[in-house]
Amino acid sequence: DAGVIQSPRHEVTEMGQEVTLRCKPISGHDYLFWYRQTMMRGLELLIYFNNNVPIDDSGMPEDRFSAKMPNASFSTLKIQPSEPRDSAVYFCASSPGPREAFFGQGTRLTVV
């Protein structure tokens, strides 16, 4: 398996634009997580899904952020409108159960 695949690897966008980050989890993993990593706040869990259903989105910063998982092999994290403070590395991870989450390479987002 190729592991968790995220795209794009890098995204530079202007403030106010919509940004969509994509994730393909490892086949067979029932859980999918979106994390954000910043210098100030470290690794933060934004939302996670179990069997394509959002379970906990309490980490989503505000209404500008939304995440979907239309099927077991694809998830998106959307920011609309984007702001400079959203600049961070966004990680997607999947796991077959508790504990051992497998992370993707991340998407480095820069909002100017």
Partner 1 sequence: GESVGLHLPTLSVQEGDNSIINCAYSNSASDYFIWYKQESGKGPQFIIDIRSNMDKRQGQRVTVLLNKTVKHLSLQIAATQPGDSAVYFCAEAQDAGNMLTFGGGTRLMVKP
Q: Where do contacts with partner 1 occur on this chain (CB under 8 A)? A: 4, 31, 33, 37-39, 42-43, 45, 48, 50, 55-56, 88-89, 91, 93, 95, 97-106, 108
CB of 67 to partner 1, least distance (A): 15
Return the number of the residue (29 or 82) whose C-beta is nearest partner 1: 29
Please spell the DSSP secondary structure of the chain, one letter per residue: ----EEE-SEEEE-TT--EEEEEEPPTT--EEEEEEEETTTEEEEEEEEETTEEEE-TT--STTEEEEEEETTEEEEEESS--GGG-EEEEEEEESSSS--EE---EEEEE-
Return the number of the residue (13 or 45) whose C-beta is nearest partner 1: 45
Return the number of the residue (28 or 99) whose C-beta is nearest partner 1: 99
CB of 65 to partner 1, least distance (A): 17
